[in-house]
């Protein structure tokens, strides 16, 4: 058959083969199929045109909402428990809206999606948290497609965040002994890093999480001679930049931590050489800003009185561990495990360990049938004091 007798959009490729092309205005691209036989080419062309017309009729008309407007409507329609609902709200408001919220849902491009994922992987967020944000932003744009505002999600051809790094870190992690951890603190002090010295000693002596440590403030301590620490908040950083205060990771994170005399001495040395600096930061609760809070932060960066993110301390700890020749990777969270190891080796009851570290429970039976008694908390304080005193003595002997 001559080329002039072929229907528009169908071309003869020889040997009875034909190429069918149908333009899709919603994607601004051609849909192409290769078939055998002219009759089959006509049938496929008719089907493709019908599919394009159906999809175009299914698309919403009018001005599309912004990502933030659609996201707020979408999340309120989800049927989740209160904790999951709060988690979704926090993810959207802290990590999705700052970068994409101002764009209309039909304007977000593949390049925008790739840029979002690139920025996400460059944050200091835990890989598991990055994976959660990745899943939720994809679910959001899946709803955009289902609602008829787009034919294809901009994240459809963007690789998911890589989580193998977290698995590798867990495999080669080294939990230092008390002596090894305090040796790292001594190395930091020798380098003039008072902030890192205090961070390490406080992490080993209190078991606080990284965000709780860098957010440690004077109002959480019973000065002038602190014997306990009331954990009320943590310091975090948005993916788009900027610090904020928020409650601890879990409800159990709102806790009282006993302070050994050695830990109180660390605080005294820190405050004698560097006064707490007062900052006013947004207070974020369940993903929503609820005003501001002013706190006097005890830890700051090496270049002056300003909030410092836990990742800065984590990198310093890792570098010191490599310099000291410790086997495996030592992270800031490894120091929290050092604290729990000290308590466990001293025979402190598991319920007490759960209470002072802010864990929900080590098990159902323990959570129901035991309580953290005053004697158990005193035992935890003495265990830390003994461990730190012994470690300091061992390091002094080694240094001499």
pLDDT tens track for 195-212: 999 999 999 999 999 999
Q: What does DSSP assign to residue 251?
A: G
End-to-end CA gap in the chain: 98
**pLDDT tops 50 at residue 396:** yes
Instruction: Give the pLDDT mean for 238-265.
Output: 87
Helix axis angle for 194-206 and 374-399, nearest 10°, is 140
Q: Quote the CA–CA distance of 70 and 135 in Å, as a whole number.
A: 17
Nearest to 87 by CA among 69, 75, 73: 75
Q: How far apart are CA 387 and CA 127, in angstroms?
A: 32
| Between 146 and 296, the higher pLDDT residue | 296
Output the pLDDT for position 166: 47
Confidence label for 170 from pLDDT (cuts 50, 70 and 90) = low
Give the pLDDT confidence score for residue 31 in this predicted structure: 84
Q: Hey, how many other C-beta atoms are within 10 angstroms of the C-beta on 308?
A: 21
Residue-level pLDDT at 400? 66
Name the burial class of residue 8, with classes exposed (0-12), middle (13-18) and buried (19+) by CB atoms within 10 angstroms of its CB: exposed
> What is the rounded CA–CA span in Å between residue 284 and residue 318?
30
Of the pLDDT bands very low, low, confident and very high (cuts 50, 70, 90), residue 368 is very low
pLDDT in tens, 22-60: 887 666 678 888 999 988 988 988 888 887 776 655 555
pLDDT digits 0-9 by tens, 208-223: 999 999 999 988 887 7
Q: What is the pLDDT of residues 119-159, one digit of tens each?
A: 888 776 777 788 889 988 998 998 888 888 888 899 988 88
**Angstrom distance (rounded) from CA 198 to CA 196:** 5
- CA distances in angstroms from 100 to 85, 109, 144, 328, listed in the order given: 20, 10, 14, 39
234-237 sheet: strands from edge to edge: 234-237, 243-246, 277-285, 288-297
**How many CB atoms are closer than 10 A to CB 302?**
13
d(CA 317, CA 332): 7
Q: What is the pTM of this model?
A: 0.62
Cα–Cα distance for residue pair 57/134, rounded to 1 Å: 31
Which residue matches tokens 């979002």?
A: 116
């Amino acid at each position: 058959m001559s080329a002039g007798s072929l229907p528009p959009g169908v071309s003869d490729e020889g040997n009875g083969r034909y190429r069918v092309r149908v333009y899709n205005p919603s994607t601004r691209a051609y849909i192409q199929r290769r078939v055998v036989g002219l009759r089959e080419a006509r049938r496929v062309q008719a089907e493709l045109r019908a599919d394009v017309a159906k999809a175009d009729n299914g698309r919403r008309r009018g001005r599309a909402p912004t990502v933030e407007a659609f996201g707020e409507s979408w999340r309120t329609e989800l049927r989740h428990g209160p904790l999951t609902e709060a988690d979704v709200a926090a993810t959207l408001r802290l990590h999705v809206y700052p970068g994409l919220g101002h764009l209309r849902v039909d304007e977000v491009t593949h390049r925008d999606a790739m840029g979002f994922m690139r920025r996400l992987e460059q944050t200091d967020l835990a890989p598991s948290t990055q994976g959660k944000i990745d899943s939720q932003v994809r679910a959001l744009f899946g709803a955009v497609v289902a609602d008829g505002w787009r034919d294809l999600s901009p994240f459809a051809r963007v690789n998911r965040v890589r989580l193998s790094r977290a698995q590798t870190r867990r495999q080669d992690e080294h939990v230092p002994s008390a002596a090894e951890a305090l040796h790292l603190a001594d190395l930091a002090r020798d380098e003039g890093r008072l902030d890192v010295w205090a961070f390490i000693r406080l992490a080993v002596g209190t078991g606080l999480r990284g965000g709780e440590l860098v957010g440690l403030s004077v109002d959480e301590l019973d000065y002038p001679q602190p014997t306990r620490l009331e954990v009320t908040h943590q310091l975090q950083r948005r993916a788009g930049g900027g610090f904020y205060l928020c409650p601890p990771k879990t409800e159990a994170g709102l806790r009282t931590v006993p302070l050994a005399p050695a830990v109180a001495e660390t605080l005294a040395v820190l405050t004698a050489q560097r006064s707490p600096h007062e900052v006013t930061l947004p207070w974020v609760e369940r993903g929503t800003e609820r005003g501001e809070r002013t706190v006097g932060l005890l830890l700051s960066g090496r270049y002056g009185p300003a909030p410092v993110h836990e990742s800065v301390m984590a990198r310093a700890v890792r570098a010191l561990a490599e310099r000291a020749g410790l086997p495996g990777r030592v992270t800031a969270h490894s120091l929290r495990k050092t604290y729990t190891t000290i308590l466990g080796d001293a025979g402190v009851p598991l319920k007490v360990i759960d209470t002072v570290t802010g864990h929900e429970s080590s098990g159902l039976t323990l959570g129901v049938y035991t309580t953290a008694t005053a004697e158990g908390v005193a035992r935890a304080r003495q265990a830390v004091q003994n461990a730190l005193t012994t470690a300091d003595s061992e390091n002094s002997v080694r240094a001499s």
